[in-house]
Structure 1
Amino acid sequence: MHRFTCITIIFTPLILCCLALSPPPTTSETRPKVLLLHSYHTSNPWDMSVEQGVLDALADEYYIPDENLAFESFYMDTKRRTSREWKEDAGKMAREAIGRLRPAVVIALDDNCQEYVVRRMNTSGCAFVFAGVNRDPEEYGIITNRENPGGNITGALERERFPESLAFMRRIVPGIKRLAIISDASPTGAPVVQRIKALAPTHGVTVVDSLETDDFTAWKDFVTKIQTRADALAVVVYHTVKDDNGTHVPADKVLAWTTSHSKLPDMGFWPWAVSQGLLCSDAISGYDQGYYVGTITSYILGGQSPGDFPVSAPRTGQPCINQARADELGLAIPAHLTKTAKLFPAMTARSPVSSPPD
């Protein structure tokens, strides 16, 4: 018999002052339910930013948790627990929760939710809105037409801003022509690496080498050998890496080692990666992803069909710079960039009290 980590269902209240504009009060039995289904865990920065965007969008449409809306979150914890067996069991528990709660809408975040939940319930009649999906949703068999999805599923794609991030880095480090790419071997990383490789030649950069691995020893070997072969390093995701004993290595430890042993300018694609220690990014906004799907969810609660909404990829970027990393690399940040970018003063992955757990 296997023992599994408890997956917590959380009820989150959000208080607004504009009660006079809200729909009429409802009882707990009649108010609609929204379930926010997370592939990952409560302290993951991406999940926290997406959830805040969802809640703000719902509030702007006068859907207030604990007043006229039942809002719950379910965490599958598949970024730290990466075995196929765990993902299958977490998916089964999520599907059972959906059957028990009978939500009006399920917002399903990231790729593992699509693989282990949505694709297995796509004929159930339940309304699904996905977000943070890195692979093409057609691969999961959940839609066939992005412009006119029809049926009970729609959502938002998560697309890294590689051309924008490269252009932003070149404003700090001109002349980058050779790029190395490293990522863990998670479902998030693989499609990002593929897209970067496809786009790189059209932006004047050659990908000299790349690695997708969950082996920390192989990760270290790659970072070490690439130092003289590349002008810059793209670090995609680093959350499913394990040591030689098969023990999960916390993400901040992976990044702390990487930045401590690499002298290459490095780019990421999310604000939390720059906060933890990468040099820069024109980053994806999890909040904007959440706000977009939260708005769609409010329309579905109002009676519209999910299939009426085309699948989209919110493209708003957030320029980010880690000042401590720039100082360490001996790079001067142009003054005009410091006025427009979000500046992180420290590399939190190396701090005694690290950033939120991976």
Structure 2
Amino acid sequence: MSRLRYVALLLFFIASAVMAYPLVIVVESYHPENDWDKAYLNGLRSKLDGVAELDFIALDTKRLPTSAHLEQADLAFYEIQQKKPDLVVLGDDAALALLGPRLARMKMPVVFLGINADPAQYFGGKLPEHITGVIERPLYQQNFNLIRELLPHAKRILVLLDQDRSAYFLQTDIQRLKRNDIDVVLVNNYSLWQNKVMNANLQYDAIVLGTYQALIGADAKHVDADEVMAWTRAHSPVPIFGFWDFAISRKAAAGGMVLSGFEHGAMAGSMARSILKNPQQSLPIRQSNHGHLMFSRTQASYWKIQIPNKLSKQVSWLP
């Protein structure tokens, strides 16, 4: 090998070492096809692409039975131990509950997102210094008040949830509002879900869809979330609203004061980026954005929902 070529190769390897990106492993509680996951993963990428090498692990807790969750977490933890990332992002409560304490013992920098519970409860009541992130608080009161304004004759509202881990935290938060006009119902069986929807008009004037991605069909298998939404929209006798932007479309819920998964992920991505630049800093927990009004013109028209002038300029309209 000529001296010139040797020097060129040496410079190449030195430059490659200098340009090597830190490794960030993202652990999803759910699966990449989940609408919430797709949105927040894009938000994370918007802040970390070109800054870090991203690797992904999906625990798939919405589609797998609860009995399989711990094994999934064990496999994820083993992979983390082998790859030794510079930082781990934990998406949603299942990932934080199953992996947070283990990563805390490793002193691994962690940024969480999509957490509905008090994150400190997963660590015996006190959050470790090297673990921070973004908590998720859907805008319950704002949505209920909005529905009251748009449907002035409405007397009762049904919040319909599956029985995923997050659903119980949502139920508790809504019950804390102590509103007599709101009923929160959790079901894990798809046929029971269908029954609740088809007969909603016997008791309720509107449905707000919470979590609906973990329902089990008659064959004991997971029911695809898009199928649940399409069926619910086609058979509901009352207007449907949603807490998250992915639930709003011409073939889904009519609208709501929604949170954005992309913005949530981008917020967590910014925190991770900051920690990678300065690992010694301590970042406080942040809360998801204040939300924004989003409506489908098709669904608003179908349900004859009139948006007051004072709100119309605030609405992000979808077809």
- For Structure 1 versus Structure 2, the TM-score category normalised by the shorter chain is 0.7 to 0.9
Q: Does 1:91 align with 2:73?
A: yes
Structure 1 match to 2:228: 254
Among 213, 217, 239, the residue aligned to 1:239 = 213
- 8 Å contact kept, 1:282–1:319: yes
Structure 2 match to 1:21: none
- What is the percentage of aligned positions where both structures have the same residue? 25
Structure 2 match to 1:279: 254
Structure 1 match to 2:290: 316
Q: Measure, in 2, the Cα distance between the counterparts of 1:28 and 1:289.
A: 31
Provide closer, same or farther for how the CA distance between residues 258 and 137 of structure 1 changes in structure 2, counting only shifts above 3 A.
same
Give the stretch that moved more between structures: 216-225 or 326-335: 326-335
**Which of 1 and 2 has greater Rg?**
2
Among 135, 140, 144, the residue aligned to 1:166 = 144
Among 25, 31, 34, the residue aligned to 1:44 = 34
Shift of 1:174: 2.5
Structure 1 match to 2:25: 35
Letter in 2 for 1:33: L
Q: Give deviations 1:235-283, integer Å, cap 9, x for gaps.
A: 1111111112212111122222222222222221111111251121111
- What pairs with 1:34-183 in structure 2 (closer than 5 Å)? 34-58=24-48, 64-65=50-51, 69-81=52-64, 83-141=65-123, 144=126, 149-183=127-161
Letter in 2 for 1:250: D
- 8 Å contact kept, 1:285–1:316: no
| 3-state secondary structure, aligned to 1:340 | coil
Q: Measure, in 1, the Cα distance between the counterparts of 2:273 and 2:208.
A: 37
Q: Does 1:270 align with 2:253?
A: no
- 8 Å contact kept, 1:130–1:156: yes
Letter in 1 for 2:133: G
Letter in 1 for 2:157: L
Letter in 1 for 2:62: K
- Between the two proteins, the alignment pairs up a number of residues equal to 305
- 8 Å contact kept, 2:200–2:237: no
Q: Give deviations 1:21-77, integer Å, cap 9, x for gaps.
A: xxx965289532111211122222222221222222336xxxx15xxx322222222
- 8 Å contact kept, 1:143–1:153: no
Q: Measure, in 2, the Cα distance between the counterparts of 1:182 and 1:108.
A: 26
Q: Which has the higher helix share?
A: 2
| 3-state secondary structure, aligned to 1:222 | helix
Structure 1 match to 2:4: none
Q: Measure, in 1, the Cα distance between the counterparts of 2:16 and 2:24.
A: 15
Structure 1 match to 2:10: none
Provide closer, same or farther for how the CA distance between residues 25 and 313 of structure 1 changes in structure 2, counting only shifts above 3 A.
farther
Provide closer, same or farther for how the CA distance between residues 193 and 25 of structure 1 changes in structure 2, counting only shifts above 3 A.
farther
CA RMSD of the aligned region, Å? Answer: 2.4
Shift of 1:142: 6.6
Q: Give deviations 1:198-218, integer Å, cap 9, x for gaps.
A: 2252xxx512x3321110121
Structure 2 match to 1:214: 188
Shift of 1:192: 1.1
- 8 Å contact kept, 1:151–1:305: no
Q: Does 1:188 align with 2:143?
A: no
| 3-state secondary structure, aligned to 2:38 | helix
